Structure 1
Amino acid sequence: MSTTALPDWQTRPQPRTAEEWTLRAAEVASVLATDAAARDRAGATPYAEVRLLKDSGLVTLLGPVEHGGAGENWVTAYRVVREVSKADGSIGQLLGYHYLWNWAARLVGTREQWEHVEAEAARNRWFFGGAVNPRDTDVVVTEDGDELVFTGRKTFSTGGKVSDVTVLEGVFEGTDRHVFTIVPSDTPGLTFHDDWDNIGQRLTESGGVTLDGVRTPWSSAAGYVDGEFTPRVYNTLNVPTIQLVFVSFYLGIAGGALETAATYTREKSRSWLHGGYDRAVDEPYVIDTYGDLTSKLWAVEALADAVAAEGRRLHDDPDAVTEQARGEFEVRVAAVKARATDVALEISSRIFEVTGARATTTAEGLDRFWRNVRTHTLHDPVAYKRREVGRWVLEGTLPEPTWYS
């Protein structure tokens, strides 16, 4: 990534409003866009990209103001992720996951724990990764005096070696009790495998990780007091929260695909020789396709914004979150997740219809938008999201909180 023309954020006032933070994210996106296709092809570890997120202040967006954070909320965070993802879906995902793992202490931990984590994260501009793949149950946690010992492997660990700290998840040996903790990413025994080699989201450092006797103090076990965990309904808000992160970078990628394609159509596409038009932008089918795809994107963005605002009310008063409120929110999230998936896949595929054969060159890199969306939308089957909505409509059944609902 070129750093020759980076904005001088250090000498400018920090943004103060949600709108100003969204504009800051757009500045970051403009830097990422300059060589996004080349960086995607190279697939190199995104150290410079994460430094960009830190220097711009985006990593501390949710952090407390008194410790250097912006004190913003999830509504703003989702918009920022969407904006960054227009230029680079991988970096948008990294940022979105960072926000979730930064927030994990508040979701699960005691007040003392999350206040400490959020203060340290803001002061030190920590970038978070997470070794929390719920389909892998082979990380076993044992006790050794005042310490917990994590041993096993996770297939996916987004953030990997570009992170400063990593959220770990495991199950106490011989039980079904899960435990979360945060450790420095260079902790002895924590090994990232650099084996993420997928068709899309290539810069997310989402490869496997081995935990070979990773030790952490018992006191760092999120939400545990004297070895016991007291559950709250708010603990289960992790799923709808991160699913809205997914929605944010799906829609960002789709928006970026449309913007990039439109620029190509205006500047490079040739009209069809038998169509009777001198310019591609005058072709009726081209105009219709852009109108169709843009209308669909705007509709889902509006729904996503509305659902994010509904979620903010739950985040603003965690102790008041009821099972009914949580369930109804998850249904709404499931609905927008389903629509965002379909629209992002459609847009990232159909842009080639209005750019033409020459737009398929590797140098243009238009395929990265589809590859990115296609890769991550397989995270969990969208049919099960539609099922959540359908069951609620037909029988008023709320989704049971699981790792995916």
Structure 2
Amino acid sequence: MSTVTNTDWHNRPAPESAQDWIARAADVAAVLATDAAARDRAGATPHAEVQLLKDSGLVTLLGPTEHGGAGQDWPTAYRVVREVAKADGSIGQLLGYHYLWNWAARLVGTREQWEHVEAEAARNRWFFGGAVNPRDKDVTVTEDGDDLVFTGRKTFSTGSKVSDVTVLEGVLEGTDDHVFAIVPSDSPGLTFHEDWDNIGQRLTESGGVTLDSVRTPWSSAAGYVDKVFQPRVYNTLNVPTIQLVFVNFYLGIAGGALETAAAYTREKSRSWLHGGHERAVDEPYVIDIYGDLTAKLWAVEALADTVAAEGQKLHDDPDAVTEQTRGDFEVRVAAVKARATDVALEISNRIFEVTGARSTATAEGLDRFWRNVRTHTLHDPVAYKRREVGRWVLEGELPEPTWYS
């Protein structure tokens, strides 16, 4: 059972600036860090952790201020995800996915739809999950009068049992058209399975879900007007936006690994008996490795922040997004995704070189950082991200908008 509890958020000054919100995320991370290893081993449904995100105000970070949200931008959201992931990669992923699915109404929906969704989400502090894995046509959507009916199964449904609302995705029967809709997570016919049993990201509730005639009004079909989808280039920005979410919780996990390892080295590691040093922190190879890994992390963090700022310019003026600006942005995202993947894997692996044999004890939980990064970085092959960059450099070729690019 989780020991994540904190009841004094309402007695603290409300964050105002981006830096205030990043500091609030660091406070949340400090709470999560107290028993992160134990919670990872237990693998229990993170109800208390999500309540912590709600109580601290982080769930409404992107929400409109007039409805109780913080009115912050995506660069701030990415930094918040990074901070939370330093303590707990699973909760960082849940929060990042929540931000994307909350924003999906704006990406895909009509103005009337997204204004309604964002207002309700901010007022009610909804936590979003997503039964969206469009690689397979495994959910069929049929019409029944003024309703749509979703039937099928999704292999992954991140957030599932801890979400208030779930984004559904399926293919309209007889067409190739994908339909997105937001429904209450306790909707009749929506069954979440307890089959998420992977080596990492254990608390993300990413198991399968069955949709047995889940009904929702046609009016909730995102971006459809009179049953016809209204396409914009901005619709396709969902992929680079969530890929930057990935980047930032990878970097958060890597940063957490370094911080945790450094504390272990200072407090517990023993110097090598033949090295001539009394303290592990004076070992030249230990100093060198920490310096090397930190420099690599800082470099990728700087690139991630720069790319996030580039993306915000597109979010600021959705109707002005063109195939060229979208494609150029996706290439930049692909580049930082590739580097973040490599650096996070290297850091979470090499920390053991500077902590020593005793640090592999289960109680220390240092392995969770590598397990978390290794699990999620398999989401889509990083080689294809490098290919996007290479084709752009050599031929000026823009990535074709797909569910993964």
Q: Output the CA distance in 1 between the equivalents of 2:242 and 2:290.
A: 30
Q: Return the offset for 1:24.
A: 0.2
Shift of 1:13: 2.6
1:1-400 superposed matches below 5 A: 1-3=2-4, 6=6, 8-400=8-400
Cα deviation 1:85-117 (Å, max 9, x = unaligned): 000000000000000000000000000000000
Query: In the alignment, is the contact (CA less than 8 A) between 2:344 and 2:373 conserved in 1?
Result: yes
In structure 2, stretches of 5+ residues that fail to align are none
Is the contact between residue 78 and residue 96 of structure 2 (CA under 8 Å) also seen in structure 1?
yes
Aligned mates of 1:223, 1:297 — CA distance in 2? 39
**What is the alpha-carbon distance in structure 2 between the residues aligned to residue 209 and residue 3 of structure 1?**
27
TM-score, normalisation: structure 2: 0.99
Distance 1:156 1:101 in 2: 15
Q: In 2, are the aligned partners of 1:139 and 1:169 still within 8 Å (CA)?
A: yes
Deviations 1:227-283 (A, max 9, x none): 101100000000000000000000000000000000000000000000000000000
Letter paired with 2:356: G
8 Å CA contact 2:4–2:52 kept in 1: the answer is no
Question: Structure 1, residues 33-67: CA drift from partner, whole Å, max 9, x if none?
Answer: 00000000000000000000000000000000000
**One-letter code aligned to 1:109:** G
Q: Distance in 1 between matches of 2:8 and 2:94?
A: 23
SS of the equivalent of 1:327 reads: helix
How big is each residue's C-alpha offset from its partner over 1:161-184, in whole Å with a ceiling of 9 and x where there is no partner? 100000000000111000100000
Task: Determine helix, strand or coil for the equivalent of 1:83.
Answer: helix
**SS of match in other structure, 1:363:** helix
Partners of 2:4 and 2:354 in 1: CA distance: 33
Q: For 2:98 and 2:4, how far apart are their aligned partners in 1?
A: 23
CA–CA distance in 1 between the matches of 2:367 and 2:164?
31
SS in 1 for 2:349: helix
Residue 3 of structure 1 deviates from its aligned partner by 4.5
Q: Distance in 1 between matches of 2:274 and 2:49?
A: 45
Report SS of the residue matched to 2:169: strand
State the distance in 2 between where 1:287 and 1:199 align. 30
| SS, match of residue 143 in structure 2 | strand
Amino acid at match of 1:184: P
| Distance in 2 between residues matched to 1:211 and 1:373, nearest whole Å | 30
> Cα gap change, 1:366/1:3 in structure 2, threshold over 3 Å: closer, same or farther?
closer
- The one-letter code matched in structure 2 to 1:285 is Y
Out of 373-382 and 131-140, give the one that drifted further: 131-140
Kindly state the Cα deviation for residue 136 of structure 1 after the two structures are TM-superposed: 2.5
> 1:293-337 CA deviation, whole Å, 9 max, x = no partner?
000000000000000000000000000000000000000000000
One-letter amino acid of the structure 1 residue matched with residue 95 of structure 2: L
Q: Is the 8 A contact 1:250 1:340 kept in 2?
A: yes
Residue identity over aligned pairs, in percent, reads 87
CA distance in 2, matches of 1:137, 1:271: 56
TM-score, length of structure 1 as denominator length = 0.99
Number of equivalenced pairs: 404
How far apart are the structure 2 equivalents of 1:259 and 1:392? 36
Deviation (angstroms), 1:84: 0.1
Structure 1 runs of 4+ with >2 Å offset: 1-4
Q: Aligned-pair RMSD on alpha carbons?
A: 0.6
The residue matched to 2:369 in structure 1 has which SS?
A: helix
CA contact (8 A) 2:134 2:170 kept: no
**1:8 positional shift:** 1.1
Q: Shift of residue 138 of structure 1?
A: 1.3
Contact kept in structure 2, 1:159 and 1:206, CA below 8 Å: yes
Report the alpha carbon displacement of residue 12 of structure 1 after superposing the two structures with TM.
2.1
Deviation at 1:7, TM superposition (A): 5.7
Unaligned runs of 5+ in 1: none
Deviation at 1:218, TM superposition (A): 0.5
Contact kept in structure 2, 1:136 and 1:155, CA below 8 Å: no
Q: Give me the whole-angstrom Cα distance separating, in 1, the residues matched to 2:50 and 2:126.
A: 10
